[in-house]
Structure formats: structure tokens, C-alpha cells
Amino acid sequence: MKRYSAFAVAREAFSHHQGWERAWRSPEPKRRYQVIVIGAGGHGLATAYYLARNHGVTDVAVLEKGWLGGGNTGRNTTIIRSNYLQPESTAIYQLAHGLYEDLSQTLNFNIMFSPRGVLMLAQTEHELRAWKRTAHANRLAGIESELVGVERIKGLCPIINTEGPRYPVLGGLWQPRGGTARHDAVAWGYARAASGLGVDIIQQCEVTGIDVGEGGVSGVQTSRGAIACARLAIVVAGNSGVLAEMAGFRLPIESVPLQALVSEPIKPCLDIVVMANTVHGYMSQSDKGELVIGGGSDGYNAYTQRGSFQHVEETVRALCETFPIISRLKMLRQWGGIVDMTGDRSPIIGRTPVEGIFINCGWGTGGFKSIPGSGWAMAATLAKGEPDELAAPFSLDRFTEGRMIDESVAAAVAH
């Protein structure tokens, strides 16, 4: 695998850029692998990469029914932060945040990480108390996060209206090292690095069945034939329940569409990420000038990637009061992603009732920001056959044992 650099660009310019190789291989699937990872989104590709890099397990196939990164990874709004509430959550999100900061150098692929800062508004007294609690928890966890007042918020975001009649701004939680990254680039970078280490990434390969016997999993049935494996990882976000049913067990998750849209491009006016959980809206500005806007999740279970106009209308109405400057903008496009929500708004990582099958799901609205930490923990779990210290609290058993990791406040509906 050729290394990307300014010198490589200059060298290829002399040959009219005819010497570039494919970013990742597209091999035919083998009949058997040591590990199969279902899902070539950010989490699945990160799992395969860290399996190969950290644990030397390269006999791995990543199966994707569509195209690489075509699910939630390509449909999210790219926010990265780690200021969660519970110690178990802050550990994995802080690891992910730290890995994101030098991921471009690690993968030799520019993920366009932008630590512009994330501001989470408090627009009710209840929310202000919640952010105070989170700020104290973050300080104990060593996370750079602080509670800020209205005057500081106005300085960070001059276009904001802090005196809205319905949604006044009372304060906020500020994480200066939070930010964004290019979602597609994260998937492409992990795919290229994993492929370079020997992992097979197989697109257009839908899993139609899972072979389970008395000894546990033995392989999968796909649209490209049967493939055997010793261990199977299900990393498919909103479709986790569908794959679990194929394997013969159920998951305590619900799949719902989550809204997002972008405006027409305008001149730079917003250089941070602003989240308003009270009204289920958040906003940042892309490098192309579009305002990237996210809304709430639909109130019903579904697998659609269209979303509903009801939530778009509610989100835009609220954001226009908070940011009057955007009221005359035109919407460029709108879409939905399928998020898998657990009751405590925390993920599931670890073993399943079927021997040899491992699951990584339930990230809800926090999937993109957790990709490096999630892949790191899942890779260790697959390599050892047991959850490591990072993943152990998020086991499936916690729902029967009553060990909830309640992140309903810190996760909210926005990211």
C-alpha cells in the first residue's frame, strides 16, 4: 500500500496521476475466515482494523450488503464530543476522542478532523441543572468541559438569540476540544488501512442467514454463497435486531429514523457546533458553507432512511427562533438514518446467547463520535473471546441484572 503524502502527489503529477492504486482491495470471498464482521460502516471497519493492528488477527472478512459507509456512517452529522455523564461512557468516548485527534496521521488518510468546539445549550432550568451535574462529572473524569453563562455563549456564537420568548438560553456546556470530522473519510480511512493489513472488505454481499448449531455459530449464508467462520461480529446499527433474529435471539433495542438536513451554502457565520437538546436541534457549518442541521428521532419504529417532514418542520421552527439569521435559507436536502436505541441510551458490546457470536449495537445518536473507541473495544473482545475492561460494563447481561448505564440526559435526542 502506497503512502499518501505531498511528495506522492507531486510524483504522480508527472504521470498524469495514472499510478494511483485502489484505496482498498475488492477480493472474492474465501470459503472460511477466522472472524467475520457484518457491517462495513465506521464501527465494523474500525473493529477489523484494530483486530489486525492491535491483535494480529488478519484472517478477517467485513461483509457489507450495499456499499462501504452507505448506512449511518454516511448519513450522520459528524459531531465528535466526549462529555458524557457516567464513568463507563466517558471512558470509551474519551478514548474515541483521543484517537480521533491523530487519526489522520495513524491511518495516513485525511479525515478532516476539526476541533472547533461543541456548545450544548441549556434552555430550561432542568437542563441547566443537568449540565451542571455533567460538568462536575467531566471534571472528575479529567475531561475538559465547563459550564458557561449567557455572555460567554454570545461571544462564542454571535449569531445566537439568547432571549427567545419560547426557548431562552440560560447557559450551556462547552467542550472546546469537541468538533467534527468528515464522515465518509473516516470510513474510507479505516477501510484502506484495514485492507492494507490483509483484511478482506466484501461489498454487495448481503447476509441472508446465520448458521448456528449445538456448538454455536459456524458461518453465514450470503448473496455470494456460504462463508464459514469461527467467530462472528454483528455491527450493523439499526439492523441489529434483524441479524439477531436470524441467529435466534432478541435484543432490547428499538430502531427509529433520526432526522437531518442541510441548507444551501452561505458565507461563514458559525465556527462552532451548537446543540439545543430542548428543541431537539443542533447545527454546524460545513467547509462548503452549508448549515448541517440535525433534529429529533421519529416517535415510531421504522427502517426508513427518509425521515418525516414533521420533525424537520419542528426543528427548523425552533432553530429559526434561536438563530434568526437562518430564517430565509432554503433547504438543500433532507434524509434520515436508522438509529438503534436501548432503554438506558448506552451501547451493547460483548457476547450474545449464541456461542461465537458477538454484538456491537445500541449506540443510538452517539455512533459516529464513538467509532474509534467502539472499534478498539470490540476488537479486543473478539480477539480474547471475552469483553475487556472497556467493554465489560456494556454487556447484554446488564439488562437482566439491572446494571443500567443511564445516559438519557447526556445523550438526549441530539448528538
209-257 per-position pLDDT tens digit: 999 999 999 999 999 999 999 999 999 999 999 999 999 999 999 999 9
Question: pLDDT for 375-397, tens place per residue?
Answer: 999 999 999 999 989 999 999 99
**β pairing state of 225-234 and 32-38:** parallel
Write down the pTM of the prediction: 0.95
Rounded CA gap, 134 and 239, in Å?
A: 31
**Contacts of 15 by beta carbon, 8 Å cutoff, 6+ apart:** none
Domain 118-179+255-342 in the same topology as domain 28-82+85-107+183-252+344-411:
no
Say yes or no to pLDDT of 98 above 70. Answer: yes
In the numeric block, which cell numbers belong to residue 395? 454487556
Q: Which of 202, 221, 245 is nearest to 60 (CA)?
A: 202
Helices (H), 65-182: 87-101, 103-107, 125-140, 150-156
Rounded CA gap, 223 and 204, in Å?
A: 8
Rounded CA gap, 181 and 292, in Å?
A: 13
Say yes or no to pLDDT of 36 above 50. Answer: yes
Rounded CA gap, 339 and 415, in Å?
A: 12
- Check residue 308 and give its pLDDT: 78
Q: Collapsing DSSP states into helix, strand and coil, what is residue 405?
A: coil
Q: How confident is the model at residue 414 (pLDDT cuts 50, 70, 90)?
A: very low
Q: Collapsing DSSP states into helix, strand and coil, what is residue 33?
A: strand
Q: How confident is the model at residue 411 (pLDDT cuts 50, 70, 90)?
A: low
- Check residue 415 and give its pLDDT: 41
Q: How confident is the model at residue 412 (pLDDT cuts 50, 70, 90)?
A: low
| More confident site: 50 or 260 | 50
**Architecture label for domain 28-82+85-107+183-252+344-411:** 3-Layer(bba) Sandwich (3.50)
Say yes or no to pLDDT of 336 above 90. Answer: no
Rounded CA gap, 45 and 111, in Å?
A: 14
Q: What are phi and psi of 136, to 5 degrees?
A: -65, -40
- Terminal alpha carbon distance of the chain: 35
Phi-psi region of 244 (alpha: psi -120 to 50; beta: other; left: phi over 0): alpha
Say yes or no to pLDDT of 305 above 90. Answer: no
Question: pLDDT for 257-281, tens place per residue?
Answer: 988 999 999 999 999 999 998 888 8
- Alpha carbon distances (Å) from 339 to 80, 124, 352, 375: 17, 26, 20, 18
- Check residue 218 and give its pLDDT: 97
Q: Collapsing DSSP states into helix, strand and coil, what is residue 413?
A: coil
Rounded CA gap, 397 and 224, in Å?
A: 34
Arithmetic mean of pLDDT, 342-354: 95
- Alpha carbon distances (Å) from 51 to 196, 224, 235: 13, 24, 14
How many residues are present in the chain?
415
Arithmetic mean of pLDDT, 292-297: 88
- Check residue 344 and give its pLDDT: 93
In the numeric block, which cell numbers belong to residue 372? 474509534
Contact 189, 107 (CB under 8 A): yes
One-letter amino acid of 340: D
In the numeric block, which cell numbers belong to residue 147? 459550564
Say yes or no to pLDDT of 97 above 90. Answer: yes
Question: pLDDT for 108-117, tens place per residue?
Answer: 999 999 999 9
| CB half-sphere exposure, 367, CA atoms < 13 A | 33
Say yes or no to pLDDT of 287 above 60. Answer: yes
Q: Collapsing DSSP states into helix, strand and coil, what is residue 178?
A: coil
Q: What are phi and psi of 150, to 5 degrees?
A: -65, -40
- Check residue 141 and give its pLDDT: 93
Crossing angle of the two packed helices 87-101 and 125-140, in degrees rounded to 10: 70
Arithmetic mean of pLDDT, 138-159: 96
In the numeric block, which cell numbers belong to residue 58? 488478519
Question: pLDDT for 168-218, tens place per residue?
Answer: 999 999 999 999 999 999 999 999 999 999 999 999 999 999 999 999 999
Domain residue spans in the chain?
28-82+85-107+183-252+344-411, 118-179+255-342
- Check residue 362 and give its pLDDT: 95
Rounded CA gap, 349 and 255, in Å?
A: 17
Mean pLDDT taken over the chain = 93
| CATH code for the part of the protein at 118-179+255-342 | 3.30.9.10
Arithmetic mean of pLDDT, 127-145: 94
pLDDT above 70 covers a percentage of the chain that reads 98
Torsion of CA 348, 275, 166, 137, to 10 degrees: 60
- Check residue 161 and give its pLDDT: 94
In the numeric block, which cell numbers belong to residue 183? 464522515
- Lowest mean pLDDT across 139-148, 349-358, 403-412: 403-412
Q: Which of 248, 202, 212, 255 is nearest to 232 (CA)?
A: 212
Helices (H), 308-407: 309-322, 371-384, 398-401
Arithmetic mean of pLDDT, 154-158: 96
pLDDT above 90 covers a percentage of the chain that reads 80
Rounded CA gap, 163 and 365, in Å?
A: 28
